[in-house]
Structure 1
Amino acid sequence: MIEQATEAREAGDWRAACAAAAVDVPDGLDPERIADRYGAEVAARVADDLRYLAPDLLRWHLPRTLGGHTTLAVCRRVVLAAYGESGPVLSLTNTPMLAGPQRLLLHFGPAVAPGADELYGLDYLTEDWTAARRFWDARRTGELRLSAGAADARGRLPFLHPDGTPLTPEELPDEHPGGTDPVALAEWIAVLQTRGEHTEAYAAAGLDLDLTPPPQGPRAFGPLDIAWLASFNAPDLTRLGPEMRLLARAGRGSGFRFALAGRGHLRAELDPADPGAPPRITGHERGQEDGIPLLPSYARERLPDIGLLRAGRIRPEELHPLVTAALFPSAGPVTGPPGPRLPEPVRVRCGGAWHEVVSRDGALVGPHTEQERRRELALRAFGGTISGCFAAQAAWTSGKAQLPKALREQRNALFLHAQHGDTPAVTALLDAGTDPYIRDSKGRGLLHVLRLLDHRELLPRLLAAGLDLEGKDAAQRTPLHSAVHQGGSADLVRDLLAAGARIDVIDETELSLAQSVRRYKRTDLTFLRDRVLEEHPGIGSDWFDEHMDQRDSYEDEDEDNWDEDWDEDEPDEPDENDEDDEDGNQ
C-alpha cells in the first residue's frame, strides 16, 4: 500500500494514491465543482492540498482501537484543512464498525458543529488536525519530530539512542537531570509517571497544575480530587505547551480540555498575555465542559512509533518511510514489511507420538494413509471422538474446536490480513497451499470475509475451489448475509447474487436480508430488500418489524423515508454499527 500510494502521489495522481491507500473519494471532491460553489481561490488551495496528500501516511497515524485490536478507532472524523474562518473543510471519516471494512472516506463541505457530527445514524467524534499537517501533508513531514518530543544536539530522541535502538532501564535518569537536557527531562517525567508520581511529573514539566477542587456539580459525591484525576493516561507533558501554541497560532483557541476519567476532565489554558508561558491546568467536574473544545489526541499522546521502538517491537527502517526520514535521517534504507509468513509444519500430539501437519496443496495434511483418514471420518460420523491430526484438520475447517497454538497463530494471521484488506497476502497464502476451507473461531470462512477484500479477485477462485455459498458461520449467517450485515459493498452483494446465493435466509436472531438492510439503513441495497420482500413476503422476525416501525415513528421525515429518498453518492458502509457481538462490533 505504501509503495503504491507513494508512487502515485509522486507522479501527481492523488486519486490513484487514495485508491491505493483504500481511501474513497466522493464525486463532489472535484476542483471544478468546488470552484463553482466556493470560488476559484478555494478550489486552487484544495487542489494544492490534494496534490501533496499522503493518504498512506494519514492512515498510518489514525487512532487505533485499544484492547488488543488492530483496527481503526470507530466513528472518527479527522478535519485535515479549513479554508477560511467559516469556509468549507477537508475531512476524513472511517467505519462505524470495529470489525468492519477499514476503508476511509474523504469529505469536502461545511464544517460540522462540535457534538453535532452524525454519520450512519451514529455520533462521530471530531479531531482537528488542521494544525498538524505533518500527519498527512508530504511537504510538512519533517515536523513529525515535534510529535516525537525534544531532540538533543546529536538528534537523539527521548527513550532512544541516536540510531533508534531503545535505552535500557538502567540508562534512564533516576533523578531530575536539570534544565539543560530536554531529552533527559522528558525521560525523567516519564519515569515519574511510571512510578505513579503524577503531580510531581506535572511540576517537572513546568506545568501549573492547580489542585483546587472545582465547585461541586449536582451529582457529585464529594470534592473532585484533581491529583487523582491527573493520574489517568499519563499524557506527554513536555509536548502539551508546544502543541497548544501551534493550535492557538492556527486560530483554534487557547484553551482545551481532555477527559481523563468518567467523572471529570482537565482543562489546559494558555495565558493570552503571555502565550509563551506554560499552560495552566485545572480540574473540572463532568458536565462543566462550558463549550471548551477537546484537545486533539495527538497533542497529548506519545507518538506510537516511539513506543514501538522503545519496546523493541520495530526497527527505524521498518517505520513508514516518511516517518523514518523525519525521525532518523541517517537510518539505513527503508526495508518495508515482508510478505505474509508462509505456513510452516506444526507438531501435533497424535496418539502416543508427535506428528507434523502442514498446509499443502490446499489442505492441512498429516502423515496418515487414506485408509486411516476414512476410518476417522467414519468414527466421527457415528458420533465418536477424533483426536490428533484428524481433530486438528476438523477444527481447521470448522472453527468449532481448539487448535494447537501454532496453528491458531497461522489461522489468525490469515484472517488478520483479510481484516486489513490485504488481498495480495491472502492470495499468496492460498498459493502457498493454505486450505481455502479454513474457518476462524466464529465459524467464518473466506467467503464471509470477502467484504473486507477485493472480491473480484477472490470470489471466482473460492467458488472454483468448491466453497459453499450457503455455508453459515456461528451466527447462522451466509456469506451474503454477512456482507449485508457487516458493511460489504453493493458490488459484492450483486456478485454473490449472480453466483447463485439464496435470499430466503435468516440468521440466529431470525433477521432476514431485508430486515438487515433496514436495520443498517443500507440505502445502497434497496434493490435487495425489494426483491426479498417481493419473493419471500413475511420472512424474518415479526418483532423486529414492529420495533423498527416504532423507531421510525420517532425520527424526522427524511429518516422515515430513508429507503425512498436517498443519495446515490453515499458510501457502501452500513449506516449503523452493530452492538457488541461475536463479530467484535460495537
Structure 2
Amino acid sequence: MQEHLANGATRLHVWRLVRAFAVPPPMIETSTARRAAGDWAGACAAAHVDVDLNLRRLARQRGPDLAARIRADLRHLAPDLLRWHLPRIGPDGLLRPGLTVALARYEDAGLTLVARTPPAWAAGGQRFSLTLWDGETGGRHPDRHFRLDLHRHLWDARRAGELRDRAAGDWAHEARQVFPDAPTVLVKAGARRLLLDVRAGAARAARSRDPRLPVLPHASTWPAPDLELLEEGLIEPGDLHPLVAAALAPGHARARAPVRPGDARIVDCRGTPHRIGLVGGVLCALDHDPAQLRREELLAALGGPPLPCLRAIDQAHRHPEDLDDVRARLDHGDAAGALAAVEDLLGPDALLRAGALREALETAAERRIRHGLFRAGLNPTR
C-alpha cells in the first residue's frame, strides 16, 4: 500500500501525518464503543463509513443463513481500523479514490463484502462505503492488488493481533499465508513485476502476464508503515490505533493529553513569553495594554513589522493555511476535529469571522453534500 506514497523518509513523514489526523481518537473511541455494544451500523457511522446494504432484504431474497454469516462479519468489523489500513496516495496521504477492496468473500453465494472509496470528482470528504458486490449488477470490480479478504487482521477486530506476525512484508511468508497451495505467485513491487517461487522464496522477473497466476496483494509486499514509524522513532505506541498498538507494542496504552479549549496560548513576543486568549468572545493579546496595541497596529499599517502577538491573532483568524493541524484535519475529512482545533485556539464561544478558515470549513460541508449526490447516482459536475 505504501507504493502509492512518496519514497524514503518523505514517505514515512506522510504516514506520520496520516496517523496523526486521518483517524482521530474520538472517532476510534466512539466507533469502538458502538461495536462493543453490538451496533455495527453505529460503529460504521462513527467512522464515517456509509452502509449501502440491507440484511433484512438479503435474508428474504437469499435466505437467513447467508444474512447471518454476513451479519457475523459485520459485528466484528472495526470500521475505524479499516480506515486506518486502507490504501492511500501522496502527497497528503488521502484515501486512494475509485477503489473497490474485497473484505470477505461468500463464494457459494457469489457475493463479496467490499469497501468502496468514491471517485476523485465526488469530493467525498474522505468517506467511503460498505456494500455487497455480486459481479452482475455493475459497479467497480474488486481490485486484485488490494484484497483484505486475505488480510482480515486489517479490519476484523478478532484477528487484529495477527499484524505482529505479518507486518514485516516477507513475500514468501505472506505467499504461504494467503495462497498456501500456489507454487508461484505474481508480485508487483514498484514498477517491477516478479514471479515468486513460494517454496524457495526466490523471485525472478516476470516476462509475460499470466492472468491465471495469483497476485500477491500489496499489503503483503511492504512492511507495515506503523512498524517502520515505530522503528524510526517517528511515532509513539500511544499514538497508534489501540488494536495496532496491542499487536506491535503490547502493554502500551493510547494516552493523549486532554485538550482545554479555554486555555491561553503562549507566544514568543520579541523574546518574552506572552499570552493570547479569549476575552468576551474575541481573541486578544493579554499582556499588552490597549495603547501599545494601537501604536503597534498603526506601525504595522505603515509597513512596520507586526507585533508577534498580533501576528499570531491575525494568523489564527485570517491565515488558516499556516495552521498545519487544522489543514490536515480538513484534508482528511475531519471537519469536527478541525473546528475543535480552532476552538482550542480561539475558545468555544468565539465568533468565526469571515475568511479563509470559515470558507474551508464550509467547503468541507459542501463535500458531504456532493458525496451524497454521488451515492444517489448523480454526478454534480455535470
Give the conservation status (yes or no) of the 8 Å contact 1:101–1:451. Answer: no
The letter of the residue matching 1:370 is P
Residue of structure 1 equivalent to 2:15 = none
TM-score for the superposition, normalised by structure 1: 0.51
Q: Deviations over 1:120-148 (max 9, x none)?
A: xxx98861111111111122223222223
Which of the residues 92, 99, 115 maps onto 2:115?
92
Residue of structure 2 equivalent to 1:335 = 254
Alignment partner of 1:106 is 2:130: yes
Shift of 1:307: 1.4
Q: Deviations over 1:406-426 (max 9, x none)?
A: xx4xx2223333444162573
Which of the residues 488, 509, 522 maps onto 2:368?
488
CA separation in 2, counterparts of 1:108 and 1:31?
A: 10
Alpha-carbon spacing, 1:438–1:278, altered in 2? closer, same or farther (3 Å): farther
Q: Deviations over 1:152-175 (max 9, x none)?
A: xxxxxxxxxxxxxxxxxxxxxxxx
Identity %: 30
Which of the residues 436, 444, 456 maps onto 2:356?
444
In terms of Rg, which structure is larger?
A: 1
Alpha-carbon spacing, 1:246–1:568, altered in 2? closer, same or farther (3 Å): closer
Pairing 1:301-320 to 2, within 5 Å after superposition: 301-320=222-241
Give the SS at the match of 2:132.
Answer: strand
Shift of 1:49: 0.6
Which of the residues 369, 387, 403 maps onto 2:306?
387
Alpha-carbon spacing, 1:284–1:124, altered in 2? closer, same or farther (3 Å): closer
Alignment partner of 1:426 is 2:339: yes
Give the SS at the match of 1:146.
Answer: helix
Shift of 1:86: 7.3
Shift of 1:50: 0.6
CA separation in 2, counterparts of 1:570 and 1:289?
A: 35
Query: What stretches of structure 1 of length at least 5 have no aligned partner?
Result: 150-235, 271-276, 402-407, 456-482, 491-521, 525-566, 577-586
Give the SS at the match of 1:129.
Answer: coil
Residue of structure 2 equivalent to 1:244 = 175
Alpha-carbon spacing, 1:58–1:360, altered in 2? closer, same or farther (3 Å): same
Residue of structure 2 equivalent to 1:141 = 160
Alignment partner of 1:278 is 2:200: yes
Give the SS at the match of 1:25.
Answer: strand
Give the conservation status (yes or no) of the 8 Å contact 2:275–2:286. Answer: yes
Shift of 1:370: 3.5
Residue of structure 2 equivalent to 1:215 = none
Shift of 1:574: 6.6
Pairing 1:184-583 to 2, within 5 Å after superposition: 236=169, 239-249=170-180, 254-261=184-191, 264-270=192-198, 277-284=199-206, 288-291=208-211, 292=213, 294-329=215-250, 331-332=251-252, 334-340=253-259, 344-349=265-270, 356=274, 358-361=276-279, 362-363=282-283, 365=285, 367-374=287-294, 384-385=303-304, 387-389=306-308, 390-399=310-319, 408=322, 411-420=323-332, 421=334, 423=336, 426-427=339-340, 429-430=342-343, 433-434=346-347, 437=352, 444-452=356-364, 483=366, 487-489=367-369, 524=373, 569-570=376-377
User: How many pairs were matched up?
Assistant: 345
The letter of the residue matching 1:356 is H
Alpha-carbon spacing, 1:281–1:298, altered in 2? closer, same or farther (3 Å): same
Shift of 1:347: 1.1
Give the conservation status (yes or no) of the 8 Å contact 1:13–1:51. Answer: yes
Alpha-carbon spacing, 1:380–1:14, altered in 2? closer, same or farther (3 Å): same
The letter of the residue matching 1:309 is L
Give the conservation status (yes or no) of the 8 Å contact 2:277–2:286. Answer: no
Alignment partner of 1:17 is 2:36: no
The letter of the residue matching 2:339 is V
Give the SS at the match of 2:346.
Answer: coil
CA separation in 1, counterparts of 2:289 and 2:144?
A: 58
Give the conservation status (yes or no) of the 8 Å contact 1:436–1:446. Answer: no
Give the SS at the match of 2:246.
Answer: helix
The letter of the residue matching 1:388 is L
Residue of structure 1 equivalent to 2:22 = none
Q: Choose between structure 1 and 2: higher strand proportion.
A: 2
Alpha-carbon spacing, 1:488–1:324, altered in 2? closer, same or farther (3 Å): closer
Higher relative CO (Cα under 8 Å, sequence separation at least 6) belongs to 2
Alpha-carbon spacing, 1:100–1:84, altered in 2? closer, same or farther (3 Å): closer
Alignment partner of 1:130 is 2:136: no
Residue of structure 2 equivalent to 1:530 = none
Q: Deviations over 1:97-121 (max 9, x none)?
A: 49861222112122499xx938xxx
CA separation in 1, counterparts of 2:220 and 2:381?
A: 30
Give the conservation status (yes or no) of the 8 Å contact 2:98–2:119. Answer: yes
Give the conservation status (yes or no) of the 8 Å contact 1:143–1:326. Answer: yes
Give the conservation status (yes or no) of the 8 Å contact 1:355–1:367. Answer: no
Shift of 1:39: 3.6
The letter of the residue matching 1:488 is R
Give the conservation status (yes or no) of the 8 Å contact 2:316–2:345. Answer: no
The letter of the residue matching 2:102 is V
Which of the residues 69, 74, 78 maps onto 2:101?
78
Q: Choose between structure 1 and 2: higher helix proportion.
A: 2
Give the conservation status (yes or no) of the 8 Å contact 1:255–1:269. Answer: yes
Shift of 1:269: 4.4
Give the conservation status (yes or no) of the 8 Å contact 1:396–1:438. Answer: no
Shift of 1:281: 1.5
Shift of 1:82: 0.8
CA separation in 1, counterparts of 2:380 and 2:202?
A: 43
Structure 1 runs (4+) greater than 6 angstroms displaced: 573-576
CA separation in 2, counterparts of 1:135 and 1:300?
A: 15
CA separation in 1, counterparts of 2:246 and 2:372?
A: 44
The letter of the residue matching 1:81 is A
Shift of 1:53: 0.8
Give the conservation status (yes or no) of the 8 Å contact 1:451–1:489. Answer: no
Give the conservation status (yes or no) of the 8 Å contact 1:9–1:54. Answer: yes
Shift of 1:300: 1.2
Give the conservation status (yes or no) of the 8 Å contact 2:115–2:128. Answer: yes
Give the SS at the match of 2:146.
Answer: strand
TM-score for the superposition, normalised by structure 2: 0.74
Alpha-carbon spacing, 1:384–1:315, altered in 2? closer, same or farther (3 Å): closer
